[in-house]
């Protein structure tokens, strides 16, 4: 099956607590099954459904930017999270949406991967964007950078360790945009 028994026990606890099933786990010809009143649910089927559902991204943050002075539209940036089962990691990406209120039409730009961004903030003028980025250098260490973006290009880049001002920057994953 390729999935750990610990994961299967966790799944059993999840079903038991969430759906109030009185399920019993058993092994039949090398495959784990859950017994319920309506028959057996094969773990393989549950995994298949999970993989399908995990393909769909979910929004985690959004921001409405200032509209241009004479434009009848809005620009919205949204941040999304999606599981990448092959890499066994969650990825983050940002998408920009243009909404023309007069035409009642929207256009989406291509998403941009922001998985290595710890924090991001836009200036009040919306001309500058600060990003704290954490880049893995090998299997055990990471480097952090403070990037300042101005008018669509990288304006300044600071290696935070080289500055020797403080230690690592930590983010709890909830503050994506200030």
Query: Are 104 and 131 members of one domain?
Result: no
Query: Are 128 and 107 members of one domain?
Result: no
Start-to-end C-alpha separation, the chain: 43
Q: What are phi and psi of 54, to 5 degrees?
A: -65, -15
The verdict on pTM exceeding 0.75 is: no
Q: 166: domain range?
A: 116-178
- Report how many domains make up the chain: 3
Query: Are 77 and 135 members of one domain?
Result: no
Domain boundary among 66, 91, 114: 114
Domain boundary among 91, 114, 137: 114
* CB contact at 8 A, 100 and 40: no
Query: Are 138 and 172 members of one domain?
Result: yes
As separate numbers, helices (DSSP H) first and strands (DSSP E) second, the chain gives 3, 12
Query: Are 108 and 120 members of one domain?
Result: no
Chain centre distance of CA 157: 24
Query: Are 70 and 107 members of one domain?
Result: yes
Encode the chain (178 residues) as per-residue pLDDT tens digits.
333 444 444 444 444 444 333 344 454 555 555 555 444 567 888 888 888 888 899 999 999 987 766 677 889 999 999 988 878 888 899 999 998 888 888 888 888 889 899 888 889 888 899 999 998 888 788 899 999 999 878 999 999 988 888 788 888 755 444 3
Residue 21 in tokens = 């099933």
Domain boundary among 73, 97, 114: 114
């Amino acid at each position: 099956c390729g999935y750990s028994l610990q994961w299967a026990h966790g799944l059993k606890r999840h079903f038991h607590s969430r759906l109030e099933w009185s399920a019993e786990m058993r092994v039949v010809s090398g495959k784990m099954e859950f017994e319920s009143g309506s028959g057996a649910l094969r773990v393989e089927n549950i995994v298949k459904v999970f993989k399908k559902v995990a393909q769909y991204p979910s929004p985690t943050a959004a921001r409405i930017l200032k509209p241009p002075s004479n434009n009848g539209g809005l620009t919205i940036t949204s941040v999304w999270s999606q599981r990448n089962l092959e890499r066994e990691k969650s990825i983050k990406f940002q998408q920009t949406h243009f909404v023309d209120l007069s035409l009642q039409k929207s256009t989406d730009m291509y998403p941009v991967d922001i998985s290595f961004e710890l924090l991001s903030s836009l200036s009040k003028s919306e001309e500058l964007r600060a990003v704290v980025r954490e880049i893995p250098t090998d299997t055990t260490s990471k480097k952090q950078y403070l990037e300042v973006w101005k008018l669509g290009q990288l304006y300044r880049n600071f290696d935070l360790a080289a500055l020797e001002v403080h230690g690592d920057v930590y983010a709890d994953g909830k503050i994506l945009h200030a």
